[in-house]
Amino acid sequence: MSAEVSPVILRALLPTDVNDTLRWHNDPSLYATLAGTFRPVDRATEEEWLRRVSQPAADAVNLGIVDRSNGALVGCVYLRDLDQDSRSGELHVFIGDSASRGRGLGEAACRAMIRHAFDELGLRRIHLKVLPENVGAIRLYERLGFVRERLEPGAVIKDGAPRDLLVMGMTASAFDFGNKLP
Ligand SMILES: CC(C)(COP(=O)(O)OP(=O)(O)OC[C@H]1O[C@@H](n2cnc3c(N)ncnc32)[C@H](O)[C@@H]1OP(=O)(O)O)[C@@H](O)C(=O)NCCC(=O)NCCS
């Protein structure tokens, strides 16, 4: 088995990330592709949010995605709603600026987080929610081992209209651990 170096490094979010995360949280075009609701935020709210998500928590892992080639923060990947009873959690990922997309960084970040979830946190199942129209993201999730499970009708409001969300899920047995990345 050949050892490959991941193109990303996952690290805790820092107060100094505020310029990047504030730009992303205020970008309606990014939120148009995300399952979450767009809520523009001011700098003080963003700083408070960064303080909160950078603290260790029992029910969440919130990490920044760093491009190993230049050290720049390019996005975020989260495991949320970690449940110790069912040993499950929900994956969220985005690459914030369009210029950094399509370069393999999102896939590498997901692989690293999923491996952490199964290998170290002891999860047995990960799920996620995605807009059914986000075919690029769905193709990526299927390549990682997620399967389409069900539609949640009208689960989110976008541009004033209810939109469905697709729930996808994966158990550890469906994940390819073969390509271990340092
Ligand atoms: C979806 C996303 C995380 C993928 O990360 P990425 O680094 O751009 O993608 P990668 O280079 O690792 O490529 C993996 C797959 O992502 C998809 N992808 C690539 N570029 C993309 C782009 N600009 N927009 C959306 N999906 C893209 C493709 O399906 C690609 O697979 P393919 O090569 O078979 O076409 C990233 O494009 C993104 O954050 N997009 C906007 C927000 C979003 O849709 N997040 C997911 C919400 S559930």
Give the number of the atom of ligand 1 that is nearest the alpha carbon of residue 139.
Answer: 29
Helix (H, G, I), strand (E, B) or coil at 10: strand
159: in domain:
yes
Ligand 1 centre from 162 Cα, in Å?
A: 24
Q: How far apart are CA 17 and CA 42, in angstroms?
A: 14
Phi/psi of residue 24, each to 5°? Answer: -70, -45
Residue 90's pLDDT is 98
Q: How many domains does the chain have?
A: 1
Q: Which residue's CA is minimally distant from atom 25 of ligand 1?
A: 136
Bridge partners, residue 9, by sequence: 66
181: in domain:
no
Ligand 1 centre from 85 Cα, in Å?
A: 32
**Residue holding tokens 């193709």?**
139
2: in domain:
no
Q: List pLDDT tens digits, range 6-49.
A: 999 999 999 999 999 999 999 999 999 999 999 999 999 999 99
Ligand 1 pocket member 156 (CB < 6 A)? no
For the entire predicted model, the pTM comes to 0.94
179: in domain:
no
What is the residue type of 158?
A: K
> Which of 20, 27, 65, 95 maximizes ligand 1 atoms within 8 Å of its Cβ, making it the mutation to test the pocket?
95
1: in domain:
no
10 and 64 Cβ atoms separated by less than 8 Å: yes
Ligand 1 centre from 60 Cα, in Å?
A: 23
What's 137's domain CATH number?
3.40.630.30
180: in domain:
no
Question: Which residues, in sequence order, are CB contacts of 87 under 8 Å at separation 6+?
Answer: 122, 123, 124, 125
Q: Residue 181 above 90 pLDDT?
A: no
pLDDT tier, 1 (very low <50, low <70, confident <90, very high otherwise): very low
pLDDT tier, 3 (very low <50, low <70, confident <90, very high otherwise): low
Please name which of 155, 174, 175, 172 lies closest in space to residue 163, comparing C-alpha atoms. 155
Packing angle of the helix pair 105-119, 135-144 (nearest 10 deg) = 40
Helix (H, G, I), strand (E, B) or coil at 91: strand
Ligand 1 pocket member 103 (CB < 6 A)? yes
Host domain of residue 166? 8-174
**Residue holding tokens 């760093």?**
66
> Which of 76, 101, 135 maximizes ligand 1 atoms within 8 Å of its Cβ, making it the mutation to test the pocket?
101
Q: How far apart are CA 110 and CA 65, in angstroms?
A: 10
Q: Where are the beta strands (DSSP E) in the chain?
A: 8-12, 61-67, 73-83, 88-95, 125-130, 147-158, 161-171
182: in domain:
no
170: in domain:
yes
